[in-house]
C-alpha cells in the first residue's frame, strides 16, 4: 500500500484518556507505539493558561475545545420507523477535538461503578427473579467489581483523584460513601471543600436520614506527584472547568497526568491532526494489519501494526468498527449481530430551588465539586415492591456560576427578557441551588447504532445513526428518584422548585444535561451478545481492541471516565503481558 | 491566508499537477519545547472603533431597537446597545460564528421532520444569513403593519411584537421560523451582555455587576470557607476595563 509508514507494535486510534493510559502501559513495557489523533496538540501553558481559560463565551458557549459538527456529527431518530436527521448544532454530545480528547474538557467527576453495575443481569435474577428483567436486554460485563478494583486504583493514582473513602477493604468509613464497592486504600488526595450550597445540601440530606459525602473529583484538592512522576497543582475553585481546559494543572487529564511522561519515551510517536478512517483487515478477514488514515492536507496513508487499539469516543469506536467491517451489524428486529447493540444514555433530572436572601456565590465552583447521596443509586435500595431496577445518585452541585450558561436559572414564571428578567437574574443568580439526579440506564432491544444511509462526514464516510428513546424501566426509576430529590430540596429550604425530568419527553440531544453515551461495542463473555471479550478484544479479529464506554452493556448512575480508564489499563496489561507472548484470543468464546 | 488554508491549497496544487502527494502527517516526538501561546489560540478582541463589519446601518437600527427591549436600561444596568451588544454581535457574525463554521450544514433537510426529532427548528442557513433574512423581515413587517421603520416603533409596540414572536404566533414569511429567530436574538443579546468585555459587549462589566459575577478571577481558595457571605468581589476581565 502506498504511503505506508514503518510498522508499529501497536497503533492507538484516538489519544484521549483511554489511548493515553494504554500508550503509557504499552510503551513502559517496551512496545513501539504510534498514536493517531485527529485533533491538534494542546497543552496547559500554550493553549489554556489562566490568561485565556476564564472565558465563558469561547469555551462554554462556542465550545472551542469540542469537535465541531462540521468535522463529524451523528444522526438521530427515536424509532425505527422515523427518518433520522443530523445533529447540526451544539447539543449534549461533547466529543473531544484535541490531543487529550474529552479528557481535557471534562468536568472531572471520578466515580467507580458499584459491584452491582457489572452484574445487573445475574444479581437482578438472583435477588428479584427473572420476571424483573422483562423487556430489558440485560447482560453481565464478564468482569466483576473485584476484577476491576486494582485497575480503578491504578487510574486514580495516575489521575490524583480527590475524595473520601467510604469502604476500605469492607470496613465502612465515616464521611465517605457507605454504598461504594470496597477499595484497598484512601483516595490519593483529600476531598474538596464545601461551598455554601453543598453544605446546605449536606445538612438537609443528613436530616432526611441519608448518607451525604463529597464526590470523588478529578479537580484535585492539593498538589500531588503521580506514579509517572508528574506533578499536579491544587484546584482553585475557579468555576471554568467543564468545557474548559485547566490552567492550574489540577484537573485530571492526559495533559496534566500522562503526556509529560509519555511524550518523552523514545518508543512513542504521536501523529496529530490526522484522522483514522478505518482499520484494514488481512485477506483472511481474521485479523487486521493496521489502519488507514488521512492527514489534514487530505493525503491518505497506512499505519501497519501488530495490534490496533480503537480508543476514540464511544460513538466513534462503534463507527470505526462498522467502517472497518469487523463484526456483524446488530439488527434490532432479529436481535442478531453485535456491533451497535446495547446503545444507551444516562437517565437524568435536575431539581432547582431558590433561597431567599442567600449568597450562594455560585462562581466558586469546580467541575466535580459536589455532595451526593447514593441511597437511591444502583441496587442500594430494595426494588422488590418497585416496578423498575436501577437508581440514581442525588447530587447537590457547585460546578459553576457562568453567567451566560445560567441565564435561565430564575424563579419560575419569569419572562425571559426585559427588565423583568434583569431584575430576576440580579436576584436569583445568588439564590439558586441545584440538585442533579444522575441515573442508571438499562439496555433494550430497540436502542442501537448503525451507519446512516444518507448523511456523510467531510471525508465522505457515512455518519453514525443513533436510534434511541427512553425506556419505561428508566423513566419509572427517574420519577421515583426525582421525587426523593424534591423532598431533599424542600428539606433544604428551597422554594419555587423547578423540576426538569428528562424522561417526561422523548429523548433528543438538545434537551439533555448529560453527555454520557455508552454501548454499541459491548463487552461480555458471550460472543453472540458482545462485540468484545472481557479484555476488550474483538471476538472477530483478535489483534483489534475496542476501548471506551462503547464497552458498557448498561450504564451505572455515575460519570463513565474512571471506568473507561480502568478498563483501558486492564486491556493494555493483557496486551503486553499475555497477547504479545502468544497472539490469539485471550478468552474462549 | 492562515497556515491551515495554505496547507490545504498546497494540497490542491499538488493534486492538480497529478503528482503523488507526499505524506506529511504531523509527527510529534517528545514534548514540544515552544511554550508561548499558540498564535491561533490567542483571543481576538472585537474591534470597538472604526465602524461595523457586517451589519448595515438599517440592520443596526432594527437590531438595536429589538435588543434594547430584550435588555432595556433600568436600575439594574445599561441597555443592550449601551453595553456594546451591537458591536459584540457584529464582530461575532463577521467571524467563524456567523459563518457557521462549527455547524453541520449539509442537506437534505426536511424542516418538519427535523423540528419534530430535535424539539426545535433546524437550519441550513448560517447565523449571519439568518440575521440578514430575519432583520429584513422585521423591517418589512413594521412597514406593512405600522407604516414606519421598525426602529421607530414604540417600546410597547416592540414588546407586543416580541411577545408574539417568542410564542411562535407570528409569521414573518415562509423563510423564517419566527420562534427560532427570537431564540437566536435572545441568546446572542445575553451573550453580548454577559461575555467578557474582550468581545465588545458587557462594557464596564455592567452585565457582571448586575448579578455579582466576579468575572475572570481564577482563584477562590481564600473565599470558599466564607460560606453564605456577600463577598462584594469587584469583577475582573481578560482585558483592561474601558
Quote the ipTM score.
Answer: 0.96
- 3-state secondary structure (DSSP) of residue B150: helix
Crossing angle of the two packed helices A145-159 and A561-577, in degrees rounded to 10: 100
Q: Are B30 and A234 within 8 A, CB to CB?
A: no
- Flag whether A86 is in a domain: no
pLDDT digits (tens, 9 = 90+) for B87-101: 999 999 999 999 999
pLDDT of residue B11: 42
The beta-carbon neighbor of B36 closest among A46, A82, A264 is A46
Q: What is the mean pLDDT of residues B183-200?
A: 97
Rounded to the nearest 5°, which phi and psi values hold at B221?
A: -60, -35
Tell me if B167 sits within 8 A of B187, measured CB to CB: no
- Please report the pLDDT score of residue B19 as a whole number: 55
The per-residue pLDDT for B25 is 81
Residue among B200, B184, B186, B193 nearest B88 (CA) = B200
Q: Rounded CA gap, B118 and A89, in Å?
A: 10
From A55, A248, A360, residue closest to B43, measured CB to CB: A55
- A47-68 pLDDT, tens digit per residue, is 999 989 999 999 999 999 999 9
Give the CATH number for residue A163.
3.50.50.60
3-state secondary structure of A198: helix
C-alpha grid cell, residue A562: 474512571
User: How many angstroms separate the CA atoms of A531 and A260, rounded?
Assistant: 33
- Please determine, for residue B194, whether its predicted confidence score (pLDDT) is greater than 90: yes
Q: Would the pLDDT of B33 be above 90?
A: no
Identify the pLDDT of residue B42: 74
> Under DSSP, is residue A231 helix (H, G, I), strand (E, B) or coil?
strand
Please name the helix (run of DSSP H) or strand (run of DSSP E) that holds residue A51, with its range, or none: helix A50-53
Return the C-alpha cell found at B209. 455587576
Residue-wise pLDDT for A279-329, tens only, equals: 999 999 999 999 999 999 999 999 999 999 999 999 999 999 999 999 999
- CB contact (8 A) between residue A52 and residue B26: no
- Torsion angles phi and psi, residue A274, rounded to 5: -130, 130
Q: Per-residue pLDDT for B22 more than 80?
A: no
Three-class secondary structure of residue A147 per DSSP = helix
Strands across the sheet with A495-501, in order?
A213-214, A370-373, A392-397, A432-439, A347-354, A495-501
* DSSP letters spanning A414-461: --SSHHHHHHHHHHHTTTEEEEEEEE-B---TT-EEEEEEEEE-TTSP
Measured over all CA atoms, what is the biggest interatomic distance in chain B, rounded to whole angstroms?
Answer: 70
Q: What pLDDT score was predicted for residue B162? A: 98
- Total tally of structural domains belonging to chain A: 1
> Is residue A516 among the annotated active site residues?
yes
Q: Which residue of B has its CA nearest to A365?
A: B220
Q: Which domain holds residue B175?
A: 57-210
pLDDT in tens, A186-236: 999 999 999 999 999 999 999 999 999 999 999 999 999 999 999 999 999
The whole-number pLDDT of residue A335 equals: 96
Determine, yes or no, domain membership for B1.
Answer: no
Considering only A563-567, B1-5, B34-38, which range has the smallest mean pLDDT?
B1-5
* Mutation site, B228, B232, B233, B238, interface A, largest A CB count within 10 A: B228
For residue A215, the enclosing domain spans 8-72+92-581
Q: Which residues of A touch B238 (CB under 8 A)?
A: 51-52, 54-55
Strand pairing class (A462-467; A448-456): antiparallel
pLDDT digits (tens, 9 = 90+) for B144-171: 999 999 999 999 999 999 999 999 999 9
Contact A396, A371 (CB under 8 A): yes
* Distance between B199 CA and the closest CA of chain A, angstroms: 9
CB contact under 8 A, A61 and B195: yes
- Report if residue A570 sits inside a domain: yes
Chain B CA closest to residue A248: B218
Whether residue B126 is contained in a domain is answered as: yes
Neighbours of A211 (CB within 10 A): 18
Across the interface, whether the CB atoms of B214 and A63 are under 8 A apart is answered no
- For chain A, helix (H) and strand (E) counts, in that order, are 13, 23
In a domain? residue A589: no
Task: List, for residues A404-454, the tens digit of each pLDDT value.
Answer: 999 999 999 999 999 999 999 999 999 999 999 999 999 999 999 999 999
Residue A84 lies inside a defined structural domain of this protein: no
Separation CA B150–CA B141 (nearest Å): 8
Residues of A in contact with B106 (CB under 8 A): 86, 455-456
Q: What is the SS3 string spanning A461-511?
A: CEEEEEECCCCHHHHHHHHHHHHHHHHHHHHHCCEEEEEEEHHHCCCCCCC
A292 backbone dihedrals φ, ψ, rounded to 5°: -90, 140
The catalytically annotated residue of A211, A516, A542, A576 is A516
Give kind and range of the element (H or E) at residue B4.
helix B3-16
| Structural domain includes residue B81 | yes
Alpha-helical regions (H) of A111-188: 120-128, 145-159
How many CA atoms, within 13 angstroms, populate the side-chain half-sphere of residue A316?
Answer: 29
CB contact burial B24-39 (16+ within 10 A = b; e otherwise):
ebeebeeeeeeeebee
How many structural domains comprise chain B? 1
Whether A259 is in a domain gets the answer yes
Would you say residue B226 lies in a domain? Answer: no
Task: Tell me how far apart the alpha carbons of residues A251 and A161 are, in angstroms, rounded to a whole number.
Answer: 9
Shortest distance, CA A378 to any CA of chain B (angstroms): 30
Q: Please tell me the distance in Å from B238's CA to the nearest CA on chain A.
A: 7
**Nearest Cα residue to A179 out of A438, A452, A377:** A377
pLDDT of residue B10: 42
Closest CA–CA distance from residue A317 to any residue of chain B (Å): 21
SS3 content of chain B, % helix, strand, coil (to 5): 45, 5, 50
> Can you give the pLDDT at residue B13?
42
A341 three-state secondary structure: strand
Pick the closest to residue A112 from A171, A154, A62, A72 (CA basis). A154
> With 60 as the cut, is the pLDDT of residue B7 above it?
no
How far is C-alpha A576 from the geometric centre of its chain's CA atoms?
26
Dihedral over Cα of B2, B107, B13, A35: its sign = positive
Task: Judge: A419–B28 Cβ closer than 8 Å, yes or no.
Answer: no
Q: How many CA atoms lie within 13 A of A132 on its CB side?
A: 21
Distance from CA of B61 to the nearest CA of A (A): 18
Q: Averaged over A85-109, what is the pLDDT? A: 97
CB-CB contact of A531 with A546 (8 Å):
yes
Band the pLDDT of A1: cuts 50, 70, 90: low
Cell numbers found for residue A69: 459538527
Q: What are phi and psi of B196, to 5 degrees?
A: -55, 140
Does the pLDDT of residue A9 top 90, yes or no?
Answer: yes
- The answer to whether B190 contacts A83, with C-beta atoms less than 8 Å apart, is no
Q: What is the pLDDT of residues B207-241, one digit of tens each?
A: 999 999 999 999 999 999 999 999 999 999 998 76
Residue B77: beta bridge partners? B74
In A440-543, beta strands by DSSP E? 448-456, 462-467, 495-501, 518-520
Under a CB-based contact definition with an 8 Å cutoff, are residues A79 and A446 in contact?
yes
pLDDT at A304: 98
Q: Span B185-206, mean pLDDT?
A: 97
What proportion of chain A, given as a percentage, has pLDDT over 90? 99
Which of A248, A297, A401 lies nearest to residue B24, judging by beta carbons? A297
Q: Which residue has the higher pLDDT, A513 or B113?
A: B113
* Of the partner residues B77, B117, B225, the one whose CB lies closest to the CB of residue A85: B117
Cβ pair A82:B215 closer than 8 A: no
* Residue among A440, A547, A554, A517 nearest A87 (CA): A517
B21 pLDDT tier (thresholds 50, 70, 90): low
Residue partners of A148: CB distance under 8 A and separation at least 6: A112, A113, A118, A563, A566, A567, A570
SS3 content of chain A, % helix, strand, coil (to 5): 25, 25, 50
**Chain B residue with minimal CA distance to A83?**
B113
Residue of A nearest to B34 (CA): A46
Single out the residue of A539, A517, A545, A525 nearest to residue A585, CA to CA: A539
Dihedral class, residue A307 (left if φ above 0, else alpha if ψ from -120 to 50, else beta): beta
CB within 8 Å: A237 and B35: no
**How does residue B27 score in pLDDT terms, banded at 50, 70 and 90?**
confident
Under a CB-based contact definition with an 8 Å cutoff, are residues B184 and B173 in contact? no
What the block records as the C-alpha cell of A136 is 430489558
Residue A1 lies in a domain: no
Taking an 8 Å cut-off on Cβ atoms, the answer to whether A269 and B216 are in contact is no
Q: Which residues contact B51 (CB under 8 A, 6 or more apart)?
A: none
Among chain B residues, the shortest Cα distance to A276 is held by: B25
CB spacing of A270 vs B10 below 8 angstroms: no
Distance of alpha carbon A435 from alpha carbon A326, whole angstroms: 42
Amino acid at each position: 500500500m502506498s504511503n505506508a509508514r514503518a510498522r508499529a507494535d501497536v497503533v492507538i486510534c484516538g489519544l484521549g484518556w483511554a489511548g493515553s493510559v494504554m500508550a503509557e502501559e504499552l510503551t513502559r513495557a517496551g512496545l513501539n507505539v504510534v498514536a493517531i489523533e485527529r485533533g491538534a496538540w494542546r497543552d496547559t501553558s500554550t493553549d489554556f493558561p489562566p490568561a485565556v481559560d476564564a472565558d465563558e463565551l469561547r469555551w462554554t458557549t462556542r465550545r472551542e475545545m469540542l469537535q465541531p459538527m462540521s468535522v463529524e456529527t451523528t444522526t438521530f431518530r427515536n424509532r425505527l420507523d422515523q427518518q433520522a436527521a443530523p445533529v447540526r448544532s451544539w447539543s449534549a454530545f461533547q466529543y473531544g477535538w484535541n490531543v487529550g480528547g474529552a479528557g481535557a474538557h471534562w468536568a472531572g467527576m471520578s466515580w467507580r461503578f458499584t459491584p452491582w453495575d457489572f452484574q445487573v443481569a445475574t444479581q437482578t435474577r438472583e435477588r428479584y427473579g427473572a420476571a424483573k428483567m422483562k423487556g430489558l436486554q440485560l447482560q453481565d460485563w464478564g468482569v466483576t467489581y473485584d476484577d476491576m478494583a486494582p485497575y480503578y486504583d491504578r487510574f486514580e493514582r495516575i489521575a490524583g483523584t480527590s475524595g473520601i473513602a467510604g469502604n476500605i477493604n469492607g470496613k465502612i468509613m465515616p464521611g465517605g460513601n457507605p454504598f461504594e464497592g470496597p477499595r484497598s486504600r484512601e483516595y490519593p488526595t483529600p476531598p474538596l471543600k464545601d461551598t455554601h450550597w453543598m453544605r446546605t445540601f449536606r445538612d438537609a440530606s443528613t436530616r432526611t436520614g441519608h448518607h451525604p459525602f463529597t464526590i470523588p473529583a478529578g479537580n484535585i484538592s492539593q498538589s500531588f506527584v503521580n506514579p509517572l512522576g508528574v506533578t499536579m497543582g491544587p484546584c482553585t475553585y475557579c468555576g471554568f472547568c467543564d468545557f474548559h481546559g485547566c490552567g492550574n494543572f489540577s484537573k485530571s487529564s492526559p495533559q496534566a497526568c500522562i503526556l509529560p511522561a509519555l511524550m518523552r519515551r523514545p518508543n512513542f510517536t504521536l501523529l496529530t491532526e490526522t484522522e483514522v478512517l478505518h482499520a484494514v483487515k488481512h485477506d483472511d478477514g481474521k485479523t487486521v494489519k493496521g489502519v488507514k488514515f488521512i492527514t489534514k492536507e487530505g493525503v491518505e496513508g497506512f499505519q501497519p501494526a501488530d495490534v490496533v487499539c480503537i480508543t476514540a469516543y464511544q460513538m466513534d469506536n462503534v463507527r470505526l468498527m462498522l467502517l472497518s467491517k469487523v463484526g456483524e451489524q446488530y439488527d434490532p428486529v432479529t436481535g442478531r449481530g453485535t456491533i451497535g447493540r446495547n446503545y444507551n444514555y444516562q437517565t437524568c433530572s435536575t431539581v432547582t430551588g431558590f433561597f431567599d436572601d442567600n449568597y450562594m456565590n455560585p462562581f466558586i465552583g469546580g467541575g466535580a465539586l459536589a455532595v451526593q447521596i447514593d441511597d437511591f443509586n444502583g441496587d442500594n435500595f430494595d426494588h422488590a415492591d418497585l416496578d423498575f431496577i436501577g437508581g440514581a445518585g442525588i447530587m447537590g452541585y457547585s460546578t459553576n456560576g457562568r453567567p451566560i450558561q445560567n441565564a435561565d436559572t430564575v424563579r419560575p414564571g419569569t419572562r425571559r427578557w426585559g427588565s423583568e428578567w434583569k431584575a430576576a437574574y440580579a436576584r436569583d443568580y445568588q439564590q439558586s441551588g441545584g440538585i442533579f439526579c444522575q441515573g442508571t440506564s438499562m439496555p433494550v432491544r430497540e436502542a442501537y447504532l448503525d451507519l446512516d444511509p444518507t448523511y456523510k462526514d467531510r471525508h465522505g464516510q457515512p455518519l453514525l445513526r443513533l436510534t434511541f428513546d427512553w425506556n419505561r424501566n428508566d423513566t419509572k426509576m427517574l420519577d421515583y428518584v426525582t421525587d426523593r430529590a424534591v423532598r431533599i430540596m424542600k428539606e433544604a429550604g428551597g422554594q419555587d422548585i423547578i423540576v426538569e425530568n428528562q424522561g417526561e419527553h422523548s429523548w433528543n440531544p438538545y434537551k439533555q444535561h448529560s453527555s454520557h453515551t455508552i454501548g454499541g461495542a459491548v463487552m461480555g463473555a458471550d460472543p453472540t451478545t458482545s462485540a468484545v471479550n472481557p479484555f476488550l478484544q474483538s471476538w472477530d479479529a483478535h489483534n483489534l481492541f475496542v476501548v471506551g464506554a462503547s464497552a458498557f452493556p448498561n450504564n451505572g448512575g455515575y460519570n463513565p471516565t474512571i471506568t473507561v480508564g480502568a478498563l483501558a489499563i486492564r486491556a493494555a496489561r493483557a496486551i503486553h503481558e499475555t497477547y504479545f507472548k502468544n497472539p490469539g484470543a485471550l478468552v474462549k468464546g | 491566508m492562515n497556515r491551515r488554508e495554505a496547507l490545504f491549497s498546497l494540497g490542491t496544487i499538488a493534486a492538480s499537477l497529478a503528482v503523488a502527494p507526499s505524506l506529511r502527517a504531523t509527527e510529534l516526538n517528545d514534548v514540544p519545547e515552544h511554550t508561548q501561546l499558540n498564535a491561533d489560540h490567542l483571543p481576538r478582541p472585537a474591534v470597538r472603533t472604526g465602524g461595523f463589519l457586517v451589519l448595515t446601518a438599517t440592520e443596526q437600527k432594527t437590531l438595536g431597537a429589538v435588543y434594547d427591549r430584550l435588555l432595556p436600561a433600568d436600575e439594574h444596568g445599561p441597555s443592550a446597545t449601551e453595553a456594546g451588544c451591537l458591536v459584540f454581535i457584529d464582530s461575532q457574525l463577521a467571524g467563524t460564528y456567523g459563518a457557521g463554521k462549527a455547524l453541520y450544514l449539509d442537506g437534505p433537510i426536511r424542516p418538519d421532520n427535523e423540528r419534530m426529532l430535535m424539539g426545535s427548528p433546524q437550519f441550513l442557513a448560517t447565523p449571519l444569513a439568518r440575521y440578514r433574512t430575519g432583520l429584513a423581515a422585521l423591517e418589512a413587517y413594521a412597514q406593512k403593519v405600522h407604516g414606519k421603520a421598525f426602529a421607530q416603533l414604540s417600546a410597547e409596540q416592540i414588546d407586543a411584537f416580541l411577545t408574539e414572536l417568542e410564542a411562535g404566533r407570528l409569521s414573518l414569511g415562509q423563510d423564517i421560523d419566527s420562534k427560532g429567530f427570537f431564540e437566536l436574538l435572545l441568546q446572542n443579546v445575553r451573550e453580548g451582555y454577559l461575555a467578557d468585555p474582550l468581545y465588545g459587549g458587557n462594557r464596564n462589566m455592567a452585565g457582571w455587576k448586575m448579578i455579582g459575577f466576579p468575572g475572570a478571577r481564577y482563584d477562590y481558595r481564600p473565599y470558599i470557607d466564607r460560606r453564605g457571605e456577600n463577598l462584594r468581589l469587584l469583577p475582573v476581565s481578560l482585558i483592561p476595563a474601558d
